[in-house]
Structure 1
Amino acid sequence: MTTTARPRNDGTPLEAVSLHEGWTLRHEGRALPAEVPGCVHTDLLAAGAIPDPFLSANETAVEWVGRRDWVYDTVLPARATAHERTDLVFDGLDTVAEITLGGEPVGRTANMHRGYRFDITGHLAERVPLSVRFACSYDAAEAVREHLGASPEAYGTDPRPFIRKMACAYGWDWGPSLPTAGIWKDVRLEHWSTARLARVRPLVTVDTATGTGRVEARIDVERTGAGAGLALIAELRVGGAHAAVEFEGGTAAVTAEVPDAALWWPRGYGEQPLYDCEVALRTADGAPLGTWARRVGFRDVVVDTGADEHGSGFTFVVNGERIFARGVNWIPDDVFPSRVTAARYRERLTQAARAGADTVRVWGGGIFERDEFYDVCDELGLMVWQDFLFACAPYPEEQPLRGEVEAEARENVARLMPHPSLVLWNGNNENLWGFRDWGWEGPLAGDSWGEGYYLGLLPRVVADTDPTRAYWAGSPWSGSWEHHPNDPAHGVVHSWDVWNTADYTDYLDDVPRFVAEFGWQAPPAYATLRRALPGEELAPGSPGMLHHQKAEDGDGKLERGLARHFDVPTDFDTWHYLTQVNQARAVATGVEHWRSHWPRCAGTIVWQLNDCWPVTSWAAVDGDARPKPLWHELRRLYADRLLTVQRRAAGPVVCAVNQSAGAWDAEVLLRRMSAAGEVLAEARVRITAGPRAVAECAVPQELLPAAGSGTEYLVADADGLRALHFPVRDREFAYPEPSYEVAVEHLGEGCAAVRVTARTLVRDLLLQADRLAPGAAADRGLLTLLPGESATILVTGWDAPDRAAAEAALFAVRGA
């Protein structure tokens, strides 16, 4: 227990007492030490009561944990206080819980995504037991289902629609089924008198013409009986500006203006200045009652969805600048989210920024992340697209769920709205699309399914609570039922038919206005697999590999995807390498094509940045935080300048995609090469792309490889960037057996330089550094070298550099 004798900066009053210590987890007569914040699974792990569910097939061995009730106990110490009111505050309980104090009920909860406050004034005269009893979430969801009479034909046996809990806790096509319980966020006592700041909503705007920033703080207070009707003063300070208001009711508004406010920009477009913003509540005679403090940033963000000759667009416009969003989708970084620390948020989001991303979409099957997540996005200039928490299912709109949905929405919109990185509220993930195409409409037979949330309740909550930001009803969504929800010509699309049924070259067949999900699977890094599957002989179909592949027919799709481009290998190491190559190639095909069509296409958000455990998935960073080759490829694809060869109706063109603030005037060296390494023809062409623009130049006829040739290819080089064009797929190309020389230089302190010099064409050379040492990392991903070219790969975390080991860790595409 920790006492804080000053106001906390989240608006709590003068005395806040942390209740993180002294908890016990009880179940069926057993008592274990409990960590708060935490959850049942992590407490059982710490006690050695269950095996690590991330290893081998242990997930199935701990399935029973999510099927039980659990109790957390502690004892509150006797505490005298001069304050009028004492509240027991839980920032997050997962999920359906009954709270008792001294055996008497205090309250009940049924929502993981909101906080709870209970008045326990007068209950601390002596030591008193506090218990939080968590019901099995399956049983709780079933009780709601029975209450609503939901048809099994429409909803199946899925508990997700009937409980306000992290949906992916019950498993997803990349995640385990490990629904847990626990006090997953902070818990404390708050002692206060007269009045407290119950909610502060800062509406932050900027007049880009004059440079004046404006903060209108809308304030809600809760009063004690003695404080009713007293005059209070709310004082706002931001950026050197100051304003105050006196009021007697439960609400107030106070506005301050900051002249010459420095603008907050997405990364790559400018700086990210943040201003301290504080609201202080005091009595009319000056007695302090509490403070609320955040950092805010001044920027103007709109989403342009206007009609044009191609349909209707979806473009972020920040401070008047139209932006091609270079994005990644974010899922909970751990299936046990209480384990995700502020440092881990920073590590993962820094990986997103280093990969070139400027946008992070927080996906609707997870959670509203903690404030530290958005703090880092503010600092790094990562625009946040925030889903409301609905994903891939019909959701009943009746009580008690409707009230919970509205309460969680209002709370989280108010909590997150200070963050300048937050640019969009999105109603749901795939549910409008699902209603149209996934066979829901018939079985629902007119029952509610969530449309009233996405097109009614949620936009109203945003308009009431945070009118400074745009709302979009869903992802995907065309903007209206007049068009198919996943219409490429309108709004936002998800492109999943390519992964599920086709080849990634099919990305080239259309130009969506904005692609919010697309991706390709690959296994995690080799060292991650070795840790997660101890003692297993690795093979694509080995028991552990199959258990850590959650997608329906995932391995079949991986194999069919490989077979379209390569002879499917029989050894694991080659299979592992080629599936990672295919993942990077697939995403590159989509991003290069869509970026080349800016401004018609205004963004790509790759599925997905991260994993919540070690698994074969679409992630660029695996469950042990190791970057896959895709992560390195994103650094190229999302760089300000991208050189690419694209097909057009009149023939191939070289595209200079320029997202920088200055013009790009480049001399492009074009070479038609033979597989044996001979230059068959070459030319230099000039291409100039203006700021934030795309320019293209037709490839001269004599530089084009013959159609269907398996022995010729095109190389385009400009300003250190390279684009390649092969007229046939890899399995049809006459690659020479890759030959190269390797030299290793020890640089000291676990660093080494691996220099590779190619004797032949070496396509997609990859150094898998984690094969050198589990903690080793390379600074480069896939490389293509022409005969005579060299590249140096910097390896860190490698204490014993050795050329033979480096050679064994190098892979390249081989001929048939």
Structure 2
Amino acid sequence: MTNLTTWQLDNWKFKEATAEEWYTATVPGCVHTDLLDLGMIEDPFEGKKELDVQWVDKRDWEYQTTFEVTEEALKQEYVVLTFHGLDTYADVRLNGHSILKANNMFRIWKVDIKDYLQLGENTLHIYFHSAVQYDLDKPDQLGYNLPADNDHSEDGGVGEKKLSVFARKAPYHYGWDWGPRFVTAGIWKDVTIEAWSDVKVQDVYLEQQHITEEKAEVLAHVEVETTEAQQVTIKITDQYGWEHTQQATLEAGQQVIDVPFTKESPRLWWSNGLGAAHLYQFHVEVVSSTDQVLSDYQLTTGLRSIKLVRKADEAGESFYFELNGIPVFAKGANHIPNDSFETRISKEDYRHEILTAVDSNMNMLRIWGGGIYEYEAFYEYCDQYGILVWQDFMFACSMYPGDEAFLANVKQEAMDQVKRLRNYACIALWCGNNEMDSAWTEYIEEAGWGWKQRYNEEQRQAIWQDYEQVFHQILPEVIDQNDPVKDYWPSSPMQDLSGTSSQHATFDSVTRGDMHYWDVWHGQQPLEAYKQNVGRFMSEYGFQSFPEERTVRTYAQEQEMALESDVMLHHQKNGAGNRLIKTYMDSYYQEPKDFSSFLHVSHILQAEAIKQAVEGHRLHMPYCMGTLYWQMNDCWPVASWSSMDYYGRWKALQFTMKDRFKPTVIIADQKEEQFTIYAVSDVIKQQEATLIYSLYDFNGSLLDQQHQQVTIEANTSSKLIEEDVANIASGDRSQTLLRCELLIGDTVVDSIDHLFEKTKHLNLQNPHIKWELADDGFVLTATSYATNVWLQAEETGFFEDNNFNLVPGIKKFVRYCQSLDPEVTDTVPVKQLQVTSMYDYITK
């Protein structure tokens, strides 16, 4: 029986440092959420109230609790206090004794507190220094501001000072071009105490050295601490009764015992769409010579091989992930924290996001480097449902200091996080930072974001040397020592770690590495440019929309429901954002009849933009092997690039991605008068299919129909048809559509409508959409062609499909499900369905 007692500290209280009165605190939590719970500040997401709470981060705050210690606990040889997350500059005292000075939100702090404990009541006190005040003089001490263009310094009342780079704290807390500025403080993860004697397993790392369907060769690194030398047995078991044992000699102190083992015919872990995400539950025990379990450790992981493949080819160099020997086309999005106050994120929030990814046929999410290393629940759900994770370290869009103390802090942070996350099957890649290599572009003077030009030569050299120390030395060394089987990529995007001009990702260098493409949106290029600018792996690109009206009304009053109102501009952190949405909308759609319609047409515009991008990327497979749009989610209600808003409500984009990320799709591509149909498949075997393409007018009359037997090649893009547009649609293109269907056997695996003109130029008539209840859903019909049909119901549930089109004479069936969980098949009974289409939104 193990000699281990564990308990979690609760019953916290807090106060402002100069105040007398203490208030009840929630831990995990932060000052802002505690003040909000007490009604001492108003909801900072409403209107412009974000600006009213900027005083909070200028104050120091104190947290305190008491806890009981028993004689039994005091008899143990070690009593260790663990802070799993302190945000950020914190002085910790136990019974009046200083035991810790913390300075990194992302580190795990452990202190042996046995010598400071007393029988009975003990007092733990934490003094949080204002991160703003703590770092306020650092730009002056350095002699210049480091680049951190996303800091909302002016909103925070600190002028032009860029402070986020000095604190090892979530960068987005200081503001971003989709998020507000709340520089938090507090205990953001659990505080626990462990009392133990004799032996303790501190950590287990399963280094998956060689994994195939025939066998899994694993090296278990078992980190053990013991108070005296002894002979033990290390026993490893799983949930199926499999067992492996090894004798070991423990020396007094801390050591790592390596235990190699092999599992024959393992059940492999696969990403969503390729197979089951099978997980093993491993139990590691240290057993004495008398068969007593001295200490144990449990972990859950999947057995799989994952690597980043970069091989020279005719076009340049590949960039794709290979899972269990299979090349994977990565389909997904970039993830940011789900709340400005991350401690409010629930397990259900994470589950909803990951189930959204699964239901949307995604297989990868990128945890972007300006947020947080996510909570365990995020990775657990990714493991469970087969979502690969591209994991950035928390550095983004800035350059950072390189003094000795900062570098040592970063190194320990990286070690803590790599060790915490390395056993998750979902982790596919460690990435050093977001956009810093391409922003600075050390080896191309005229490229980048203009950062280099702000500094003299001596400063430039120092900044770049500091960069290289972190991203080319410290981080890869930490990974090599702690997770050697996974790949490291220094910065996203980049071409290669060459130390020459070929290192940096620029728009004219798309044949190697990964690519962020922002000429559509920031560069104001037309949507069609997405298909003309395709790299080997598209790790970031995006297009904005507003959230839906009921979300907008959570932060705006009736009189503020206008594009240029102060509140609407405040909830648009990208300076030109509202203007860009309108400019693009004017190019592709008729003018919406009112602001409510404008909000929804912005969804349609966003969906069409990212659809063009994704189709462009997929039809270039295998040249391009990944598409991760910006962004999956929001941290507050805001106009942004997200496909799912702060409340988890799907925008039109999310439904479009569900459709365009299907394993096998057809893509119609029209370039002026040339028309091409492709089939793109992620399926790892060749498929024989029938392609049916039918020409209709908007009244539903069938003008022409063709059937063609086609071969869909495995795991690639295949060109099926290439024709002049005039040979397909010779009549009035403003009232004509081509419906393309792909059948494998009798099953329609994909169906698309191709319009030969922009929606703006279509001659849409009132479609008089009707719906009726059917078994487990609804059947919809229209009398005239309806585009962007949108369904809403008062009852809580999830539409199986939305933002679709209706052809007169062809019925559409849609289910309304209780849950996104694929194992829950129940539907929701709906009394009333609200149905609209593009016709309802435009000025008549």
Both structures adopt the same fold (TM-score exceeding 0.5): yes
Deviation, 1:582, is 0.5
| Aligned: 1:447 with 2:462 | yes
SS at match of 1:52: coil
Distance 1:150 1:403 in 2: 22
Deviation, 1:678, is 4.5
Kept in 1: contact 2:233–2:287 (CA 8 A) = yes
Kept in 1: contact 2:268–2:277 (CA 8 A) = yes
Deviation, 1:288, is 4.2
Which residue in 1 is equivalent to 2:738?
A: 714
- Number of residue pairs matched by the alignment: 791
Deviation, 1:253, is 1.5
Q: After superposing the two structures, state which structure 1 stretch, 511-520 or 136-145, moved more.
A: 136-145
Kept in 1: contact 2:431–2:490 (CA 8 A) = yes
SS at match of 1:312: coil
SS at match of 2:136: helix
Which residue in 2 is equivalent to 1:3?
A: none
Matching residue within 608, 612, 615 for 1:589:
612
Which residue in 2 is equivalent to 1:39?
A: 30
Gaps of 5+ in 2: 149-159, 442-447, 819-827
Kept in 2: contact 1:651–1:698 (CA 8 A) = no
| Aligned: 1:112 with 2:105 | yes
Matching residue within 203, 210, 214 for 1:206:
210
Give the letter aligned to residue 751 of structure 2. R
Deviation, 1:417, is 1.1
Distance 2:530 2:325 in 1: 30
Kept in 1: contact 2:795–2:830 (CA 8 A) = no
1:740-777 residue CA offsets vs partner (Å, 9 max, x unmatched) = 23234398xxx9x554321112122222x1xx538465
Q: After superposing the two structures, state which structure 1 stretch, 192-201 or 511-520, moved more.
A: 192-201
Matching residue within 172, 175, 193 for 2:176:
172
| Aligned: 1:136 with 2:130 | yes
Kept in 1: contact 2:16–2:60 (CA 8 A) = no
Matching residue within 326, 331, 353 for 1:326:
331
SS at match of 2:100: strand
Give the letter aligned to residue 758 of structure 2. R
1:400-456 residue CA offsets vs partner (Å, 9 max, x unmatched) = 211111101111111111111111111111110111201222324212342322222
Which residue in 2 is equivalent to 1:546?
A: 569
Aligned pairs (5 A) from 1:367-386? 367-386=372-391
SS at match of 1:740: coil
Give the letter aligned to residue 729 of structure 1. K
Distance 2:182 2:765 in 1: 46
Matching residue within 159, 184, 187 for 1:183:
187
Deviation, 1:260, is 1.5
SS at match of 1:376: helix
Deviation, 1:231, is 5.2
Deviation, 1:699, is 3.9
Change (3 A) 1:710 1:22: closer
Give the letter aligned to residue 107 of structure 1. L
Change (3 A) 1:99 1:273: same
Change (3 A) 1:378 1:78: closer
Kept in 2: contact 1:513–1:600 (CA 8 A) = yes
Gaps of 5+ in 1: 1-5, 8-12
Kept in 2: contact 1:687–1:695 (CA 8 A) = no
Deviation, 1:725, is 3.1
Which residue in 2 is equivalent to 1:504?
A: 527
Distance 1:571 1:59 in 2: 28
- Name the % identity: 28
Distance 2:38 2:12 in 1: 15
Deviation, 1:95, is 0.8
1:217-237 residue CA offsets vs partner (Å, 9 max, x unmatched) = 2233445xxx25555654433
Distance 1:575 1:109 in 2: 48
Aligned pairs (5 A) from 1:142-153? 142-146=136-140, 149-152=142-145
Distance 2:292 2:559 in 1: 67
1:592-614 residue CA offsets vs partner (Å, 9 max, x unmatched) = 11101111110101111111111
Which residue in 1 is equivalent to 2:396?
A: 391
Deviation, 1:809, is 8.5
Kept in 2: contact 1:138–1:159 (CA 8 A) = yes
Which residue in 1 is equivalent to 2:768?
A: 740
Which residue in 2 is equivalent to 1:10?
A: none
Deviation, 1:281, is 3.5
Aligned pairs (5 A) from 1:274-353? 274-281=279-286, 288-353=293-358
Give the letter aligned to residue 642 of structure 1. V
Kept in 1: contact 2:768–2:782 (CA 8 A) = yes
Question: TM-score scaled to structure 2, two decimals?
Answer: 0.88
Deviation, 1:301, is 1.2
Matching residue within 788, 805, 810 for 1:784:
805
Aligned pairs (5 A) from 1:743-782? 743-745=771-773, 753-767=777-791, 769=792, 772-773=793-794, 775=796, 777-782=798-803
Distance 2:143 2:336 in 1: 29
Aligned pairs (5 A) from 1:532-681? 532-534=555-557, 536-569=559-592, 571-647=594-670, 651-675=674-698, 677-681=700-704
Give the letter aligned to residue 738 of structure 1. N
Deviation, 1:94, is 0.7
Change (3 A) 1:150 1:357: farther
Kept in 1: contact 2:208–2:305 (CA 8 A) = no
Deviation, 1:157, is 2.0
Which residue in 2 is equivalent to 1:17?
A: 7
Distance 1:180 1:104 in 2: 26
Which residue in 2 is equivalent to 1:237?
A: 237
Matching residue within 83, 93, 98 for 1:90:
83
CA-based RMSD of the aligned residues comes to 2.6
Kept in 2: contact 1:264–1:420 (CA 8 A) = yes
Distance 1:778 1:602 in 2: 30
Kept in 1: contact 2:97–2:116 (CA 8 A) = no
Deviation, 1:536, is 4.9
Kept in 2: contact 1:708–1:727 (CA 8 A) = no
Matching residue within 485, 490, 498 for 2:505:
485
Which residue in 1 is equivalent to 2:155?
A: none
Change (3 A) 1:685 1:531: same
